[in-house]
Structure 1
């Protein structure tokens, strides 16, 4: 009997479901057809990101293959509680991880935040791997220097790590640690990349698949995050009112966004052609669609449209906000439409547009213009030499 085993896997600082089997080309191709599944060259197994629906998705995908699927290593309750056992950790450290996980969940942090903070503490315990009774600021500083900084983690990741340590210290009350001395690097000010409106239209025209075109059109026309799009259910779409209901998005906030009139024909054509059952965007057999699939076909559409900028689904959201601002929509309205908690987050788009600043004439143009008006035909005036 052919057997395929599913098991808990901690990989890339995240919780995964490992998929192991004796090599079989047909099964390999069948697995590769599942959006979101990846191959780990270090672990030498396929793995699938854990989520509330992950086990159900795998069950459906492997059903009818003729293989026996062994779920014995997986306890769904253990997954939900994130109580994976780490064989290289001491029992004391394992208990600390589980208590920290419970503490974060008690504060009702999102699954993403719990996963991120948990992974930082796991890295630290593997790095420190010594009794924590005498833990002090220098131990944490050494971790930041030798792990976070040396491996060139981003500034935002570094700041998240500091936040994780603050919760860790507050929970266990280490007397040798002064929270005020755990410094947080200054936040980077990175301006978002945006597409021009012409580039957006070219991108949609170059997207041949109807489902893919609908996905890109709704992200841009309504300013959605990729996660918000993938969670949308059919009853969230109100065509008559031209509204989309976004339920419990980032920051646990509900909001309404509008739908463009020109998007309605694309949407109706898509609904009639694909006939989704529950979610607006579904994979095979009604399975949830993956963000990696969206990024893949977006990259291909950009190639066809001749767009050389680095474009992600979030680039379309940035473009939506920037174009709204350029057409005179107020910052307060854009903040509500995007679901930003703070106006400062929305104000970054004022630095992207800067229409008045971009209209200022360069002194090089002024100098050349004045010389041309003076009638002096100097050879070096033609800077291109043509």
Structure 2
């Protein structure tokens, strides 16, 4: 393994991070998320001063790419959850390419220094194009359907960034990233995630006797929190100032913001924790999670997202039955933006409250609802034609 090599400080003579060393991709992902080897590897090989990347294999290059530091300020480098997503997506792509190499006409090239061939050094533009075309129809998404447009776009952005890194590092000699097919998300590709006051009230009323789900729906709607931000929130993140409760949140890109917790939301949290047999006392030194499972463990954001999605879409409510796509917790974030606008909040105040870097992202949350609201067809409601149909 990698640490055995580091103790010798010799040039790598065999594959140190290899698929055969791990039972499954989950185990490999866990190993690659540990950045301890990154610092030792840089020190042992003087990677920064003499970037001879030919001594590494594909998985080691993934490892170096994911943990690559660009700034002295640690807050400006990739966060752990971002690294986790990069590792997961890159390993899935790597396995897809390996499993279907005949379909993509990939001829693997063996490198003398390694016991395993290099997939990325074997890739040509034609192989990558065949892979991208295959992704459009392969049943890899939810319900054995193709990937959603946004999912496909995210994966291709990560792959393109990685291939550019390999080229800059002279690990590959062909700039594969330059000819990748575009996978940008168009406005028309964005699913309708609109929820307004009426829909949220129906959801809250439906789950009024389920304090756990009711609390989650209430807090996500009234704060605009991402599900991951909710799961990462701790008791010490709540402060009380000038008669209001505030939750300090670490969002995307390590951007901090405060969200207002209304008094009835605080009461909902209290009821939630009571059901979990836990006290709710504000304490600046208590770094335990606010929301825990019945076993007292912090929620995994993916588990909680799936849990809420499952129960919300089983609700016997007309607007849910009529929807073409299932409602996820992210819809409640859209609801926060829409309801804020309905109550007079401006785009300039909604955007930072959601932790958005630019107003354009927030505007997308509001476009479809405002388009319907401003439709000229509303002027027909009292027309003679409608009344005499």
TM-score, normalization by structure 2: 0.65
Corresponding position of 1:361: 377
Q: Is the 8 A contact 2:244 2:262 kept in 1?
A: no
Q: Is the 8 A contact 1:282 1:288 kept in 2?
A: yes
Corresponding position of 2:65: 103
Identify the match of residue 139 of structure 1 among 127, 133, 138. 127
Q: Is residue 130 of structure 1 aligned with residue 108 of structure 2?
A: yes
Q: Is the 8 A contact 1:192 1:318 kept in 2?
A: no
Q: Is residue 296 of structure 1 aligned with residue 307 of structure 2?
A: yes
SS at match of 2:256: strand
Aligned-pair CA distance for 1:134 = 5.6
Q: How many residues align?
A: 297
Q: Distance in 2 between matches of 1:355 and 1:327?
A: 17
Identify the match of residue 286 of structure 1 among 293, 296, 304. 296
SS at match of 2:295: helix
Does the C-alpha gap of structure 1 residues 167 and 320 become closer, same or farther in structure 2, counting only changes over 3 Å? same
SS at match of 1:221: helix
Corresponding position of 1:187: 185
Q: Is the 8 A contact 1:222 1:257 kept in 2?
A: yes
Listed as ranges, the matches of 1:198-347 within 5 Å are 198-207=198-207, 208-239=209-240, 241-247=244-250, 249-276=251-278, 278-290=288-300, 291-293=302-304, 295-297=306-308, 299-301=310-312, 303-306=315-318, 307-308=320-321, 309=323, 310-347=326-363
Aligned-pair CA distance for 1:344 = 1.3
Q: Distance in 1 between matches of 2:211 and 2:381?
A: 46
Does the C-alpha gap of structure 1 residues 134 and 117 become closer, same or farther in structure 2, counting only changes over 3 Å? closer
Q: Distance in 2 between matches of 1:272 and 1:176?
A: 60
Q: Distance in 2 between matches of 1:93 and 1:288?
A: 41
Corresponding position of 2:34: 80
Aligned-pair CA distance for 1:139 = 1.7
Can you list the C-alpha shifts for 1:330-361, whole angstroms capped at 9, x where unaligned? 11211111111222111113312316853523
Q: Is the 8 A contact 2:32 2:63 kept in 1?
A: no
TM-score, normalization by structure 1: 0.66
RMSD: 3.4
Structure (1/2) with the larger strand percentage: 1
Aligned-pair CA distance for 1:106 = 1.5
Corresponding position of 1:114: 87
Aligned-pair CA distance for 1:218 = 0.7
Does the C-alpha gap of structure 1 residues 198 and 129 become closer, same or farther in structure 2, counting only changes over 3 Å? same
Q: Is the 8 A contact 1:191 1:352 kept in 2?
A: no
Can you list the C-alpha shifts for 1:54-92, whole angstroms capped at 9, x where unaligned? xxxxxxxxxxxxxxxxxxxxxx75663699xxxxxxxx9
Q: Which runs of 5+ in 1 are unaligned?
A: 1-6, 18-49, 51-75, 84-91, 373-380
Q: Is the 8 A contact 2:276 2:292 kept in 1?
A: no
